[in-house]
Amino acid sequence: MPAITTNDLKNGITLEIDNGLFTVVDFQHVKPGKGGAFVRTKLRSLRTGNILERTFNAGVRVEQAILERSDMQFLYREGDDFVFMDVDTYEQINLAPRTLGEAADYLVEGAKAMIAQYDGEVVSVEIPVTVELNISITEPGIQGDRVSGARKPATLETGKVIQVPLFVNIGDRVKVDTRTGDYITRV
């Protein structure tokens, strides 16, 4: 593992600190008028997603973790597991729903994902910011019920329930923000 100094930190770099993997979300190099310079950082845990604020003295060495990132395609579900295929090598891996986290709510067959591994362990799964999915269950909009901004629950083809406008019907294809789970538009 390469060691870098805190002066070399950039957003997106992955570090191994206290036997945990953290991605640098934000950093600030501070040089007070008196005393030595220091680096104030915000780190996100790759395993839990929690944010940690940590301050380092300038020039301190930290361990950089090199992640192997690969483009994968979701093929199918096998029991509870999700089966992915590497688009370059055609190797297949099975991932448990807890490994995927929120991404499991937006995966349909053929969907692409960026999977990062560290020492053979999957540490993060990144899916596109928006996905297009079909509505499988929702109540029909009632004629004359046109309250501005009114919403109703709708179940996507993956089983995730989101709030959609009243005019959206069963079979409609909608664009959904995968970060928040919000409806964006009808496609």
What would the pLDDT profile of 67-85 be if each residue is shown by its tens digit? 899 999 999 999 999 999 9
Q: Per-residue pLDDT tens for 81-100?
A: 999 999 999 999 999 888 88
Tokens of 95: 């991932």
Its pTM stands at: 0.75
Per-residue pLDDT, 42: 94
pLDDT averaged over every residue in the chain: 88
Confidence of residue 111 (pLDDT cuts 50, 70, 90): very high
DSSP state of 13: -
What are the structural domains of the chain?
A: 3-64 (2.30.30.30), 68-126 (2.40.50.140), 130-186 (2.40.50.140)
CB environment 132-157: b (16+ within 10 A), e (fewer): ebebeebeebeeeeeeeeeeeebebe
Q: Tell me, what's the pLDDT at 135?
A: 92
- Looking at residue 86, its pLDDT comes to 93
**Which residues does residue 155 pair with via DSSP β-bridges, in sequence order?**
137, 161
DSSP 8-state code for residue 180:
T
Closest CA to 184 of 164, 161, 170: 164
- The reported pLDDT for the residue numbered 50 is 85
